[in-house]
Every structure is written in C-alpha cells, then in structure tokens.
Amino acid sequence: MKYSIDFKVAEKRMLSDNFFRLALQSENPLPTINPGQFVQILPKHSNGLRLPISINDVVSDNIIYLLIRIVGSGTKMLADIEQGETVNMILPLGNGFPMLSADELRKGKRILMVGGGVGIAPFLHLAKEYAKCGITTDVLLGARTEKHILLEKELSQTANLHIATEDGSCGTKGLITAHEILKEHFDRIYCCGPLPMMKAVASVVADKSKCYVSLEERMACGVGACLCCVVKTADGHNRCTCTEGPVFGVDFLGW
C-alpha cells in the first residue's frame, strides 16, 4: 500500500557543497518502510514532476530523513524549503534491499555496503536495520575529497566505516573500486552510486550473485503506471525500476 502524505520539515541541514538533509515529520504513524525504498517528493510551488529520493533513515514511527544533492531545478527547489513548511510525498515506493534473514545472520555472516557520493543515502537505514539484528556491517564510502564525505559520524556509530577518497585527503587514496575491502569475503554486497561506479564494483566482486545494486533511472509516476523508468534485464526485457526495483541483483541485470 502506498500513500500520499503531507510532511512538516522538522529540520533542514545544509551539508558540504551541494548536499542537504531533511528531517520530515508526518502527523500520523507511517507505514512500514524497508531500507532501499524511496519517496516521490513534490517541491513546493512546483508544477513540474515529483523527484524520486531514497529514504535515508527512519528514526521514529513518523520521522524520516532524506539526503539530497542539488543537481538541477527540482532539487534546487527542494533545497529552498524552510523548517516548519509542508511538503507532500508518495511513499513507500519500490522494493528495498533484500536482507539476509535473522536465521541466516546468526552464522557470523558479513555484509558490505558500497556507496558513492549521494549513493550512501539508503545505507544509513540499512546499516541500522542490520544493527537491530545484532550485525555490525561494513560500509565503504567513496568520495572525491574529504569535503565530499557524508554522514561519516552517523554511519560510524552503527557500522565499520571504510573510506576512499580520490585525492587521499581521507581514508585510502584512489577510486572506491580499488579499496582492499572489496577483496574480502562477504555474504551480501549492496551498492548504490553513479552507474559507472556500480558497474565497476560489480565487476570486481568475487561472487556476483551476492551483489545488489540500487538504480537511479529517470522516473515520472514512481508507481508503475507510465513505464518511463525501465532498465533492460539479462533476459532482454524492459522492467520498471520503480516497481520491480530500484534494487536489482547484478545477475538479474546481466552485468
């Protein structure tokens, strides 16, 4: 079941560069939200389309966080919203990250999340969900420079944080795909970020069948009605990212 809900902006925090984070509060309790699901948010005063944004964190039964990067007119409009103002969102949309079940987790399994840039957004929620099951996950963050690293504090409270920066100003120097941790054994690898980065990660992991990626196709409706958001899967068919994704197994995509 999906809902169209008005939220109040409880907090807006501008982060480095073009990033900002919103805490959004609804009057009533929200439906269950799985890590990796997204919202379709409507910027105030916009007569344009909604924007798909991942749910960054769920902190109570009526407060969620979004982490957003300003890239164009829609995200710019969103950044102009002030604390106390109202914004409408459709949620929860899409299928989240398939998590290992509590049973599977007891056997000392290892989970890795690889986030590039704003692709880190859904992993705070995911890391916290695994933490609730008693699992400390590994999170690998990639950024251009130290200044571009997001949510370092929040993530390091729930996960083992690893960082790669292109200029070496923080963590290991070099591309995220060159990081040593990718050589270790993991039972599940989740990846979100720019397409070339996800493809590169998928190509270096030992077992593709354990790797899941979250895609950012352009969307119009977000609810499976318009077929604008398709991705071609291994079987040659076009599938909707908004209803069948945005998370897909790398095998299924045929990468």
Ligand X SMILES: Cc1cc2nc3c(=O)[nH]c(=O)nc-3n(C[C@H](O)[C@H](O)[C@H](O)COP(=O)(O)OP(=O)(O)OC[C@H]3O[C@@H](n4cnc5c(N)ncnc54)[C@H](O)[C@@H]3O)c2cc1C
Ligand Y SMILES: Cc1cc2nc3c(=O)[nH]c(=O)nc-3n(C[C@H](O)[C@H](O)[C@H](O)COP(=O)(O)O)c2cc1C
Binding site for ligand FES (CB under 6 A): 219-222, 224-229, 240, 242
Which residues, numbered 176-205, are part of the site for ligand X (CB under 6 A)? none
CB of 220 to ligand Y, least distance (A): 6
CB of 110 to ligand X, least distance (A): 25
Q: Which is nearer to another protein, 2 or 8 (CB)?
A: 2
The bridge status of strand 63-69 relative to strand 51-54 is unpaired
Cα 70 from Cα 20, distance rounded (Å): 8
The string of DSSP codes covering 44-109 is: TT--S--EEEE--EEEETTEEEEEEE--SHHHHHHHT--TT-EEEEEEEESB-PPPPPHHHHTTT-
By CB under 6 A, residue 52 contacts ligand X:
yes
Cα 26 from Cα 21, distance rounded (Å): 16
> Which residue in the set 23, 64, 68, 135 belongs to the binding site for ligand X (CB under 6 A)?
68
Q: Which is nearer to ligand X, 19 or 186 (CB)?
A: 19
Cα 120 from Cα 214, distance rounded (Å): 11
**What amino acid occupies position 223?**
V
| Residue 216 binds which entry of ligand FES, ligand X, another protein, none, CB below 5-8 Å type-dependent | ligand X
Give the binding site for ligand X (CB under 6 A). 38, 51-54, 67-69, 71-75, 118, 121, 216-219, 246
